[in-house]
Amino acid sequence: MTGAGWMWLYIGAGLMMLEVVSSGFVVFFFGLAAATVGLMRFCIGEEFTLTWQLVSFSALCVAYIALLRRWVRSVFSGKIEHAATDFDNEYVGRTGRVTAAIDPPLAGRVVIGDAEWTAVADVPIAVGSDVKVVYNRNLTMKVEEIK
């Protein structure tokens, strides 16, 4: 069984390549364990029987997944940085003009920049009044009149 080392290396390479099309980053460590067993087979020789190869493969799979998975995954996935734009508060402080009267509790419409938005307020605001955005929730702006 002189080809056992090569067989483990081929299996290992195949499993590592299979990781490209799978998700979860687990199959890679099975391939790494198989390649390690193949190298051990070359170093130890015939005394490294099939039973020991299978035991070593199992132990190495568990060890590689437990010890290396988190580190290797962080290296390949990179770090997520928060966006520079705070989309929840992007319009706070901006000014606009009322296009449809706001009469609480009914919403009206305001133009801010080049877009028209649904707007609410605590007090009635007439058409044509200038307003400032206090906060926005989803696609509705809460505004107050600029005096």
Q: What is the value of pTM for the model shown?
A: 0.50
Range of the domain at 57: 4-77
86 lies in a domain?
no
- Find tokens 């107050």 and name the residue: 144
Q: What tens digit of pLDDT does each residue of 23-63 get?
A: 777 888 899 999 999 999 999 988 999 999 999 999 999 99
Q: pLDDT tens-digit profile of 78-102?
A: 666 655 566 667 889 999 999 999 9
**Structurally, how many domains does the chain consist of?**
2
Looking at the structure, tell me whether residues 97 and 37 fall in a common domain: no
The DSSP symbol for 20 reads: G
Residue 97 to residue 115: CA distance in whole angstroms: 11
Determine the pLDDT at residue 83.
56
Is the residue at 130 inside a domain? yes
Average pLDDT of every residue of the chain: 87
143, β-bridge pairs = 133
Read off the tokens for 97: 């003009």
Compute the Cα dihedral for 74, 76, 80, 84 and give only its sign: positive
* pLDDT tens, residue by residue, 101-120: 999 999 999 999 889 999 99
CB atoms within 10 A of CB 138: 7
Are 67 and 98 in the same domain?
no
What is the percent of the chain where pLDDT is above 70?
90
Q: Are residues 64 and 125 in the same domain?
A: no
